[in-house]
Amino acid sequence: MGIDNRIGIGLMGLGVVGSGVAKALLEKAGQLTKQAGGTLVLEKVLVADIDKHRPVQMAPGLLTQDPRRILDSPNIGIVVELIGGEDPAAAYIESALKNGKHVVTANKDVMAKFGPELLQLADQNGVEILYEASVGGGIPLLLPLKQSLAANDISSIRAIINGTTNYILTKMSQDGLSFHIALREAQEEGYAEADPAKDVEGLDAAYKLAILATSAFQSTVRPSDIYCQGITRLGEADFLHARELGYEIKLLAIAKKTEGAIEARVHPVLIPADYLLAKVTGVFNAIQIEGDLVGQVLFYGKGAGSLPTASAVVADIIAVARSIRGPRPEPMPAGTVVQDMVPVKPIFDLVSPYYLRMNIADQPGVLAQIAHVLGDRSISIASVIQKRADPVTHSAEIVIMTHPAREQFMDDALAEMAKLSVVREICNFIRVEG
């Protein structure tokens, strides 16, 4: 935009990611100009407080507290929104698109909730909105989905897209820590926030899954469509049993496209220990995508952090710059605007194998009663582990693995079993994947 192949950039937000982007734009100017086919010029940077001390050196006059200096500037062709959160970021993005500016954003909240509408708005205004950094940090996902896998019908996504929970689960699995101790370690390491609810309840993963699923299936999947269960109920015993049965426990974000419906859910799963996804440890992310031609591919890397996220943001800036440097804007790549509307299945319709862990009375006939409740709902048992009873409490722990069953029936069975006097506690039930 503008003369001399100058492409003006307005950066909104100079936090962790914004600083990384500003640093890359300033320090790698030569390389980026070559890549973008034009000079990327940082015109304005929106900050909350102009006088705050910052680690990134900025030319005087670059900073502003007034969003209109970016959104209305004729010198700015690309607005890079890195404020995060829904408000006021969503309004800024909308305003930028309406003003005919391309938008690059890392905002998962906005894209998960309003992605399809913003893509349409961009299309109407002949501009692009790119948001690779909103899922999986610097891991290439949305571009490969849209381009490299364009010939595929995507049938499933199975993803570890929350580093905090994967770190906690790794600690619980490898070091035998309880959830609370592992969480505290994650907080001490800076991997979990003081209020960890969004991560440990699976909400962060659900937002990212909404973006991935919408992109993969070309059909709107909202965060509110996604069944979401966190990791707070997992106990040390679950990890021990899982290992014994040949599984790992992971918080997976899962989306599948089946005949006429989409499945989208975030919850802990047992996955076979020899799957590559099961071997992804620590704060790393891994996203496995299955297509009819390509089979399974997996993308792995750091899902957060200043520089990895900046890597994706700057790549998007380069892609937009390439498309605007010619005499006409490149037409929207096909498939960026959501076309189909496939319904999202409620969790009750899920069909999955289950792992159940219960505390039962140590007396004859208990297993028969439990089997009866399950059998009545056409749930068949694949295997049972019963541990030695506790002579003091006269109770025993039992683990049941079922064959695939409908969640609704399983839910029913759990309610019924809870009423049995011989069942002391239903400690946990975990879906099995793969």
Catalytic positions are 208
Distance in Å, CB of 384 to a second copy, minimum: 29
The stretch near a second copy (CB under 8 A) out of 188-196, 226-234, 301-309, 405-413 is 301-309
In degrees, to the nearest 5, what angle opens at C-alpha 207 toward C-alphas 205 and 208?
65
Q: Verify cis geometry, omega within 30 degrees of 0, for the bond prior to 74.
A: no
Check residue 240 for interaction with a second copy (CB under 8 A).
no
Candidate list 335, 346, 375, 404; residue touching a second copy; CB under 8 A: 335
Candidate list 49, 87, 175, 330; residue touching a second copy; CB under 8 A: 330
Candidate list 104, 154, 183, 280; residue touching a second copy; CB under 8 A: 280
Distance in Å, CB of 120 to a second copy, minimum: 16
Q: Report the residue number, 15 or 365, with the smaller CB distance to a second copy.
A: 15
The residue with tokens 């959104």 is 71
Distance in Å, CB of 140 to a second copy, minimum: 3
Mark residues 27-56: x for contact with a second copy by CB under 8 A, - for none.
-x--xx-xxxx-------------------
Check residue 302 for interaction with a second copy (CB under 8 A).
yes
Task: Please report, as residue ranges, which positions from 304 to 323 form the binding site for a second copy (by CB under 8 A).
Answer: 305, 307-308, 310-312, 314-315, 318-319, 322
As a whole number of angstroms, the distance between CA 204 and CA 344 comes to 19
As a whole number of angstroms, the distance between CA 381 and CA 354 comes to 9
Q: Are 162 and 280 in contact (CB under 8 A)?
A: no
Residue 12's CB: how many other CB atoms inside 10 A? Answer: 26
Task: Tell me which amino acid residue 357 is.
Answer: R
Check residue 120 for interaction with a second copy (CB under 8 A).
no
Q: Report the residue number, 88 or 126, with the smaller CB distance to a second copy.
A: 126
Check residue 229 for interaction with a second copy (CB under 8 A).
no
As a whole number of angstroms, the distance between CA 401 and CA 346 comes to 23
Distance in Å, CB of 136 to a second copy, minimum: 9
Mark residues 133-172: x for contact with a second copy by CB under 8 A, - for none.
----xxxx--xx--xxxxxxx-------------------
Number of residues binding to a second copy, judged by CB under 8 A: 60
As a whole number of angstroms, the distance between CA 20 and CA 308 comes to 9
**63, 268, 305 from 196: Cα distances, Å:** 32, 17, 17
3-state secondary structure of 352: strand
Phi, psi of 151 (to 5 degrees): -80, -5
User: DSSP letters of 72-131?
Assistant: T-TT--EEEE---SSTTHHHHHHHHHHTT-EEEE--HHHHHHHHHHHHHHHHHTT--EE-
Binding site for a second copy (CB under 8 A): 20, 24, 28, 31-32, 34-37, 132, 137-140, 143-144, 147-153, 274, 276, 279-281, 291-302, 305, 307-308, 310-312, 314-315, 318-319, 322, 325-328, 330-331, 333-335
